[in-house]
Amino acid sequence: MQQITVQTDNAICVVGINRPEKKNALTADMYQAMADAVNTASADTNVKVVILTGIGEHFTAGNDLGEFLADPSMDEESSVYCFLQAIARCEIPMIAAVEGFAVGIGCTLLLHCERVICDSTARFAFPFVNLAIVPEAASSLLLPRLIGYQQAAHLLLTGDTFDANEALEMGLAAEKTETGEALQTAMTYAEKLTCKARGALVATKQLLRRDDEPVQDRLHHELAIFVEKLQAPAAKEAMTAFMEKRKPDFTGL
């Protein structure tokens, strides 16, 4: 079974996260496959829109914590960073169709999308601090820009979960649908864009994202701190506790 599916039709590339038995938690191989899919779509003059979605009940539960525990090393050659660069540099509009859990990178990647559409089951969280690590994907820059400093600080410092209505109210999501209709709504919206000239879509996105340099700087800076915290004892304790379904003990950490 392909854990990342790619279907391109009528100038729309749909990238699906397909690991439903693990709530679509992401592995290194999956990150690389998504990076390749986004980069290929961005470079293909016949593709005008990318849709990111989850197959099954959830968008993605975030990174596979077992992989983090087994190998906490990460650098700018890693598949995770390749994916972050792919979504940050994608030339064409990206739409996210979110149902169920959108956790960790499942939330931060939304900040690189031109439109986020969620259904009534969507649940969001930036749980990095709960795992004794820090956010990535330039979210420490982009989230305050989008929803304001204090709201962003609350979400990043607490890791609290919030629902579709709250995501809509704060501006993280642009549209809420009935249960199970996020992808079809995203497809309908994408079809509107496919009627436009690709060059105009690309140029307009470039104008909207004209502050790209700070984003690249933040991606790099966050990665350095993320790796430092990921390799620290506190992160190992937090992730082990999560997997063992107990409260972490940060005494002395």
Domains along the sequence of the chain with CATH: 4-178 (3.90.226.10)
pLDDT (tens place) for every residue of the chain, 253 residues total: 899 999 999 999 999 999 999 999 999 999 999 999 999 999 999 999 999 999 999 999 999 988 878 877 677 788 999 999 999 999 999 999 999 999 999 999 999 999 999 999 999 999 999 999 999 999 999 999 999 999 999 999 999 999 999 999 999 999 999 999 999 999 999 999 999 999 999 999 999 988 766 888 888 888 888 888 889 899 889 899 988 989 998 887 7
How far is 211 from 23, CA to CA, in rounded Å?
34
Q: 55, 57, 97: which is closest to 185 by C-alpha?
A: 97
Strand-pairing partners, residue 9, are 12
pLDDT tens-digit map of 229-251:
889 899 889 899 988 989 998 88
Strand-pairing partners, residue 126, are none
How far is 187 from 194, CA to CA, in rounded Å?
10
HEC states along 84-122? HHHHHHCCCCEEEEECCEEECHHHHHHHHCCEEEEECCC
Reported pTM? 0.92
Positive or negative: CA dihedral 154, 156, 158, 161: positive
